[in-house]
Amino acid sequence: MKLTLDRICLSTNDLCLRCSKKLKNGEVTKLDIEVGKIIIQAAKQHKFLNSISLEKIISTKNAVYLLVKQGDKEKLEQAGYVFMNMLSDTVGTEVVFIEKVKNVRKFIEGLVSPAEVVNTTTVFIPPSGDKEIKIQFRESDRNKVKISAEELTAIMTPLYGYGAHYFFS
Ligand SMILES: [Zn+2]
């Protein structure tokens, strides 16, 4: 199991220098400690959680996203609703598992599913030349896209360095 802080530090409640530094410089927050502890606890009962890899925790206005390696989402969901409830009760909002993929389009598709991505284009916004992904959805999928562009951008930026907006046609 890989967590955003050392497992031993989380289990013993005694952060080593490296973990303390991460907390101090804002790379992780108290959420990482709370979530890590719950996962360690749950892994005692659900052994398959011992192979998961939690890469990053992203907190937005609407939810807390746990970025895990490919294949881990299924395992976390298998741990059941007691585990899920404990997570969301602790963080105080909805918890969503997302899998890390290199391909940004695939990543977006995972987040907006079941809505279907028709097309993605990279745009550069003047005057800064900042990069952004423009996503095209079908008009008929309008009600299926639950995530706002703002939320999408908040999740994407720490991972890819740029955000996205979308339109329906
Ligand atoms: Zn540590």
Evaluate if residue 62 carries a pLDDT over 90.
no
Predicted structure pTM score: 0.87
Distance from the alpha carbon of residue 6 to the mean position of ligand 1, in angstroms:
4
Distance from the alpha carbon of residue 81 to the mean position of ligand 1, in angstroms:
29
10 membership: H or E segment, kind and range: helix 7-12
pLDDT classification of 120: cutoffs 50, 70, 90: very high
Distance from the alpha carbon of residue 43 to the mean position of ligand 1, in angstroms:
19
Mean pLDDT value of segment 78-89: 96
Mean pLDDT value of segment 6-25: 96
Distance from the alpha carbon of residue 20 to the mean position of ligand 1, in angstroms:
7
Distance from the alpha carbon of residue 17 to the mean position of ligand 1, in angstroms:
7
Per-residue DSSP letter, 140: G
pLDDT of residue 97: 94
Q: How remote is the C-alpha of 77 from its chain's centroid? A: 14
Evaluate if residue 43 carries a pLDDT over 90.
yes
Distance from the alpha carbon of residue 16 to the mean position of ligand 1, in angstroms:
4
pLDDT of residue 41: 96
Distance from the alpha carbon of residue 87 to the mean position of ligand 1, in angstroms:
22
Evaluate if residue 145 carries a pLDDT over 90.
yes
Mean pLDDT value of segment 132-136: 97
Nearest to 67, CA basis, from 84, 55, 49: 55
Distance from the alpha carbon of residue 90 to the mean position of ligand 1, in angstroms:
22
Mean pLDDT value of segment 132-154: 95
Distance from the alpha carbon of residue 32 to the mean position of ligand 1, in angstroms:
12
pLDDT of residue 134: 97
Residues near ion ligand 1 (CB < 5 Å) are 6, 9, 16, 19
Evaluate if residue 100 carries a pLDDT over 90.
no
> Which range (75-79, 90-94, 111-115) has the least confidence?
111-115
- Structural domains in the chain? 7-99 (3.30.300.20), 104-168 (3.30.300.20)
pLDDT of residue 61: 86
β-sheet with 130-137: strand ranges across: 117-125, 130-137, 163-168
Tokens of 167: 């339109």
Mean pLDDT value of segment 25-47: 96
Mean pLDDT value of segment 71-84: 95
Evaluate if residue 14 carries a pLDDT over 90.
yes
